[in-house]
Amino acid sequence: MSVDFLIKKAKEIKIVIDNNAPEIEKLDQEIGDGDHIFNVQRGIKLVIELEPIIKDLPMSEALNQIAMKVLSGIGGSSGALFGTLFMTMGKSSDIDVGVDYKKAINMFAYGVEAVKQRGKADVGEKTMMDVLIPVANCLKQGIENNKDLKDLMREAIETAEKGMLSTKNLLATKGRASYLGDRSKGHIDPGARSSQLMIKTVCESILNN
Amino acid sequence: MKKFINSADDFLKESLQGFGAAHKDIVTCYYNPNFIIRSKYAKKGKVALITGGGSGHEPMHGGFVGYGMLDAACPGFVFSSPSPDQMIAAIEKVDCGSGVLFIVKNYSGDIMNFQMAAEMMTGPSETVLTNDDVAVENSSFTTGRRGVAATIIVEKIVGSLAESGGSLVECKNLGNKVNKNSGSMGVAFSSCIVPAAGKPTFELRSDEMEFGVGIHGEPGRRRDKIKSAKEITNELLNAILEDLKPENKDDILLFVNGMGGTPISELYLIYDNARKMLDNKKIKIARSLVGNYCTSLEMQGASITITKLDQELVNHWDTPVHTAGMRWGM
């Protein structure tokens, strides 16, 4: 994984998120306050705009710049959570000497753990953690068992989709949807949907490579 | 959407620039990152009070920066938490070495961002978390009660203590005491419209109200048919009193707050209904506040806040304050 890879994936994610924007906005209007899609789109745009500044930087510094940009540019919960993800990934050890896929997976898992601490949300609370935590676990187990990378990517895509769909019947206990109580049931969480789309995009592009 | 607006992207910037220019005797605004500080530096050794939150609740919080209240406020995008870089930039300007007290409303985004700021800064800090909205029940199964209008009462009273030389821990303890002594509940007749979204956050029929609404248009306890002001006031008061359980001897502060789209005359009408009901319950109103202080863009609606007072709180409430949104005694 290189800084160039990160920027390319951000551009691919932008296309997928833009294509699904009306659906995500509608999900958020049902149980949130309707701004999630704007936050995600703004964040991706800002990351892509960083290209000339970060393209020649070491991985740790590039991730830290992405983190600070996302943190200040998105604001709100999304900014803090995605900022924490990238900041923590950038603090992983030995990433400036090259990142193979095993190291990349460990970085991601380390980042997801930090996001879990920051947001104090676990699986089952109807948030993006219902996608991120199972995917991180699946990827980590995969590399421990020396699974084939492409099989592992397919498994991650399935896990993300399952996690996203699982949020539909959950009762929200974190974030703004929690004020709805039982009224939050029956709707997919918009943050789970956007994270699932991002994971799917990255995994598919590795599959097709 | 009918708003005085040029473009949704410039909404916050233009509004802040106007605020800074109109009140340049009291505040100085900084941009990218956005924060508001007093135009006259506070005296050395004073604990710095820093708050922030999404924009759209004006005059909260920028309108309460000034002598006797806040040292700095960090406005986020509309209804979206500010980010740590704003707090850090504000801290650099206002921290006089006696520590920073963050006053934070209980929302996930605000908590996370202020927490990150506290981790990034070098000096000591403490946080007072406000959660006065009694509309949120079963709070152990949710993010918890929301911080709403009582945040302003906390800012005024702790602001007074900090001005008179209170330590960081004393300020924190007093803030927690005011929050614990306060309860609020609101009702909405119409939705707010977030400029970037361009349409109402929620739909209400012309004869409906959202009872227990949040200041971002979050759902309340239930949706109901509109009733008389007396009935609505009575229900709001009962919900708050049930939570606060004031005793006969308790003095209270009665605060009727407008959400932005309700005329002041209606707020005074609510106040009149409320004072008579409290009088019947032998609860003494020692201090009052009526007006648009903690708003929700153009939402038509109002909230009532009650704070149980003792002599310490009354004394700090009465001290001089000079901000854009609240001024007395000087």
Domain count, chain A: 1
My answer on whether B187 and B175 are in the same domain is no
Q: What average pLDDT does chain A have? A: 94
Answer whether A39 touches B (CB < 8 Å). yes
The reply to whether residue B80 touches residue A176, judged by beta carbons under 8 angstroms, is no
A81 chain-B contacts, CB cut-off 8 A: 112
Measured CA to CA, the distance from residue A183 to residue A169 in angstroms comes to: 11
Nearest Cβ partner for A173 among B141, B194, B196: B141
The reply to whether residue B79 touches residue A39, judged by beta carbons under 8 angstroms, is no
- pLDDT band, residue B136 (cuts 50/70/90): confident
The string of pLDDT tens digits covering residues B166-178 is 999 999 999 999 9
Judge whether B322 lies within some domain.
no
The reply to whether residue A75 touches residue B76, judged by beta carbons under 8 angstroms, is yes
Judge whether B323 lies within some domain.
no
What residues have CB less than 8 Å from B41, skipping those under 6 apart?
Answer: B94
The reply to whether residue A38 touches residue B196, judged by beta carbons under 8 angstroms, is yes
Judge whether B325 lies within some domain.
no
Q: Chain B residue closest to A75 (CA)?
A: B83
> Which CATH number belongs to the domain containing residue B256 in this structure?
3.30.1180.20
The string of pLDDT tens digits covering residues B20-60 is 999 999 999 999 999 999 999 877 899 999 999 999 999 99
Query: The domain containing residue A43 runs over which residues?
Result: 3-207
Reduce the secondary structure of chain B to three states and give it as a string.
CCCCCCCHHHHHHHHHHHHHHHCCCCEEEECCCCEEEECCCCCCCCCEEEEEEEECCCCCCHHHEEECCECEEEEEEECCCCCHHHHHHHHHHHCCCCCEEEEEECCHHHHHHHHHHHHHCCCCEEEEEECCECCCCCHHHCCCCCCCCHHHHHHHHHHHHHHCCCCHHHHHHHHHHHHHCEEEEEEECCCCECCCCCCECCCCCCCEEEECCCCCCCCCCEEEECCCHHHHHHHHHHHHHHHHCCCCCCEEEEEEEECCCCCHHHHHHHHHHHHHHHHHCCCEEEEEEEECCCCCCCCCEEEEEEEEECHHHHHHHHCCEEECCCEECC
Q: Is the pLDDT of residue B202 over 90?
A: no
Domain count, chain B: 2
My answer on whether B167 and B253 are in the same domain is no
Higher pLDDT, B71 or A35: B71
My answer on whether B23 and B138 are in the same domain is yes
Decide which of B127, B160, B181 is a domain's last residue.
B181
The string of pLDDT tens digits covering residues B302-314 is 999 999 999 999 9
- At B45, give phi and psi (nearest 5°): 90, -5
Query: The domain containing residue B294 runs over which residues?
Result: 182-317
**Catalytic residue list contains B216:** yes
| Selected residues 91-120 of chain A with any CB under 8 Å from a CB in chain B | 118-119
- pLDDT band, residue B140 (cuts 50/70/90): low
My answer on whether B136 and B186 are in the same domain is no
Whether A37 contacts A24, CB under 8 Å: yes
My answer on whether B146 and B281 are in the same domain is no
Listed range (B85-94, B172-181, B244-253) with the worst mean pLDDT: B244-253
The string of pLDDT tens digits covering residues A147-169 is 999 999 999 999 999 999 999 99
> Which CATH number belongs to the domain containing residue A42 in this structure?
1.25.40.340
